[in-house]
Structure 1
Amino acid sequence: MMINCRKVLSPQGWLENQTICIDKGIITTIKPQTSDASGSKTVELLAPGFIDIQVNGGGGFLLNQQTDANAVEQIFYAHQRFGTTAMLPTLITDSEAKMQEATCAIAIARKSLPNAIVGVHFEGPWLSRARKGVHPERYIRAPKESELAMLRATGLGQVLVTLAPENVAPAVIRELVEDGIIVFLGHSAATAEQTCAALDAGATGFTHLFNAMSPMQSREPGMVGAALAAPNAYAGLIVDGYHVDPICCKVAARALGKERICLVTDAMALAASEATQMPFFETTITKSDNRLTTPDGTLAGSCLTMIDAVRNTVKHCNIALEDALYMASTTPATALDLQQSQGSIAVGQQANFVALDQQLQVTEVYQAGQPTFENSGA
Structure 2
Amino acid sequence: MPYHAIAARNVFDGISVLNDHAVIVDGCHIVDVVPRASVPESMPVHALRGDAWLAPGFIDVQVNGGGDVLFNDTPTSAGILAIAAAHRRFGTTGLLPTLISDTPDKMRTAMAAAQSAASENPAVLGIHFEGPFLSPDKPGVHDQEMFRAPTPSDLELLTSWPSGNVLVTLAPERVPLDFIRELSLAGVRVSLGHSMATYEQTQEALAAGLTGFTHLYNAMRPLGSRDPGPIAAALEAPAAWFGMIVDGAHVTPEMLRLALRGAAHPMLVTDAMPPVGGTKQTFTLYGQEISVRDGRCMRADGTLAGAAIDMASSVRNAVRDLHLPLTSALCFASTEPAEFLGLGTVLGRLAPGFRADMVAFDAPDIRILDTWIAGVPAAAHTHVAADA
Regarding TM over 0.5, the answer is yes
TM-score tier by shorter-chain length is: over 0.9
- Choose which of 197, 200, 207 in structure 2 pairs with 1:193: 200
Structure 2 match to 1:2: 5
1:40-55 pair list within 5 angstroms? 40-43=45-48, 44-55=52-63
State the shift of 1:229 in Å: 1.6
The alignment status of 1:316 with 2:324, answered yes or no, reads no
Alpha-carbon distance in structure 1 between the residues aligned to 2:377 and 2:174: 45
Deviation at 1:341, TM superposition (A): 0.8
Following TM superposition, the consecutive aligned residue runs of length 4 or more in structure 1 with deviations greater than 3 angstroms are 35-39
Question: What is aligned with 1:19?
Answer: 22
Paired amino acid for 1:143: P
The two structures have a TM-score, normalised by structure 2, of 0.94
Measured in 2, the distance between the counterparts of 1:146 and 1:101 equals 14
Gaps spanning 5+ residues in structure 2: where?
A: none
Residue 360 of structure 1 is matched in structure 2 by 366
Answering whether residue 80 of structure 2 is matched by residue 72 of structure 1, we say yes
* Kept in 1: contact 2:90–2:384 (CA 8 A): no
Residue of structure 2 equivalent to 1:86: 94
More divergent stretch after superposition (29-38 vs 284-293):
29-38
Question: Is residue 133 from structure 1 mapped to residue 145 from structure 2 by the alignment?
Answer: no
Q: Is the contact made by 1:126 and 1:141 (CA closer than 8 Å) also made in structure 2?
A: yes
Work out which of the residue numbers 80, 103, 106 in structure 2 matches 1:95.
103
Change (3 A) 1:376 1:179: closer
Are the equivalent residues in 1 in contact too, given 2:14–2:348 (CA < 8 A)?
A: no
Percent identical pairs in the alignment equals 42
Q: Measure the CA separation in 1 of the matches of 2:86 and 2:24.
A: 28
SS at match of 1:76: helix
Q: Per-residue deviation at 1:340? A: 1.1
Provide closer, same or farther for how the CA distance between residues 334 and 107 of structure 1 changes in structure 2, counting only shifts above 3 A. Answer: same
**Partner of residue 353 from structure 2, selected from 327, 348, 355:** 348
How many positions carry a matched residue from both structures? 375
Match of 1:234 in 2: 241
Give the 5 Å matches for 1:330-341. 330-341=335-346
The correspondence of residues 107-126 of structure 1 with structure 2, limited to 5 A, is 107-113=115-121, 115-126=122-133
Counterparts of residues 297-308 of structure 1 (less than 5 Å): 297-308=302-313
Verify: 1:294 aligned to 2:299, yes or no.
yes
Q: Does the 8 A contact of 2:11 with 2:22 survive in 1? A: no
Inter-partner Cα distance in structure 2 for 1:354 and 1:167:
40
TM-score after normalising by structure 1: 0.96
Q: What is the alpha-carbon distance in structure 2 between the residues aligned to residue 224 and residue 2 of structure 1?
A: 44
The one-letter amino acid of 2:296's match is R
Q: For 1:301-337, what per-residue CA distance to the aligned partner results, in whole angstroms no more than 9, with x for missing partners?
A: 0011110110010011101100000000000000000
Secondary structure of the 1:17 match is: strand
User: CA separation in 2, counterparts of 1:180 and 1:88?
Assistant: 15
Q: Which runs of 5+ in 1 are unaligned?
A: none
Rounded Cα–Cα distance in structure 2 between residues aligned with 1:232 and 1:148: 24
Q: Deviation of residue 156 (structure 1)?
A: 6.0
How far apart, in 2, do the equivalents of 1:197 and 1:377 lie? 45
Post-superposition offset of 1:116:
1.1
Contact 2:71/2:79 (<8 A) preserved: yes
Query: Does the Cα contact within 8 Å between 1:61 and 1:269 map onto a contact in 2?
Result: yes
Amino acid of the structure 2 residue aligned with 1:278: F
